[in-house]
Amino acid sequence: MTSSAGYGEEMTTRILSIGTAVPSARLRQDQVRDLFAGQPGANRLTQRLIGAAFNASAIETRHTVLEDLAAAAAATALPAVEAADDERMPTVTDTGDLLAPSTGARNDAYIRLAPPLFAEAARKALSAASVDAADVTHVVTVSCTGMFAPGPDYRLVRDLGLPTTVARSHLGFMGCAAAVPALRTAFQICAAHPDAVVLVVCGELCSLHVRTPADHDEIVSASVFADGAAAAVVSADASRVTGPSFELDRFATVLTDEGEKDMAWTIGDSGFEMILSAEVPRIIGREIRGAVDSFLGDEGVDTWAVHPGGRSVLDRVETGLDLPADALTVSRDILRDYGNMSSATILFILGALLAGDLDDGERVATLAFGPGLTLEAARLTFRREAA
């Protein structure tokens, strides 16, 4: 494997707060399983594969911006809306058959529906950190489920009333691991600008790319991916610490020796297409020990924050690192309640840990996996109060 050097700490840069947001429409896993298995053309083999994937996912609920999909899965009528406000992208017919909108239609829905979710998560994070919008100096946004320009970074300035002088960066199409590079970018900004207040926001509308599941990749994608957004306020200004925080200690990137074709994210004519082969958990299981050892060395870890790409990924990490059975409880809880929200998911996990009962000084290993196959890692230290 090939590893990049981690970044040393010259000052204490912290995650001051984390805010999360999900759409109001919720999918129950058993209901959406039955909806997909009942699609026209789904033969018995496909139905069995759908049933197996959904039943083994360890997911109970997920959220989606597609209200008609959620209504069809629950076999309920779509809520009435004013015609002028009805900008939904049709996803299912009146009889529950999945439609196949063009990539353009899906992306148009992203342009309408993603910015409010970015803004909601950001407002929650700023409020939790007691940071005014006027104090934000830098914005780093992340997404791989849609694109437009001016993009989510620009919209946050307008929607939150941030200073028009805010320096903006956007990390696109880096997949599920992208929140860690975003935090690394914030860390680097704070190293160069000690007074900086960086707003990091990840937002993903994975469900916009839902399709009738036919092959393995589509079935797995349909069974795990969901919508959500999460934001973090990052700063090295010690005077801004008002409560529990995470110190950002260092980062590392590891490319596995194989997997370039096993996890990929491409643009098709009917939405973005996820390639997620059955080899992904096995590759992670084989290489996770070497990757983590090269990153952590002889230093111990008290708590693990691992991106739940799926239940099998968590199982392989747990086995590969010889972790106790409860080590990934928070990751499994987020997977159960929200599914895989791509880049936003690891911030949901860190948010739960930040609001939890960690002891001061606990060391947190953060691991996320993305296309390539790439491991993005961060070592954090929990602080109950300001130093």
For residue 170, how many other CB atoms are within 10 A of its CB? 17
Tell me if residue 202 is catalytic: no
> What is the spatial distance between Cα 161 and Cα 100, in angstroms, rounded to a whole number?
37
* Strand stretches in the chain, DSSP E: 2-3, 13-21, 25-28, 61-64, 138-143, 167-172, 197-205, 227-235, 245-255, 263-268, 271-276, 303-306, 363-370, 374-383
Q: Which of 248, 285, 300, 311 is nearest to 375 (CA)?
A: 285
> What is the spatial distance between Cα 61 and Cα 258, in angstroms, rounded to a whole number?
32
- Helix residue ranges per DSSP H, 297-343: 311-320, 329-338
Strands 167-172 and 138-143: parallel
* Long-range own/partner contacts, residues 52-56 (CB < 8 A, 24 or more apart): 53/219, 53/220, 53/222, 53/223, 54/29, 54/30, 54/223, 56/311, 56/312
Among residues 176, 190, 202, 206, the one annotated as catalytic is 176
Q: DSSP letter at 225? A: B
- 172 alpha carbon, distance to own chain's centre: 13
> What is the spatial distance between Cα 12 and Cα 236, in angstroms, rounded to a whole number?
6
Identity of residue 194: P
> What is the spatial distance between Cα 73 and Cα 78, in angstroms, rounded to a whole number?
11
Catalytic residue list: 176
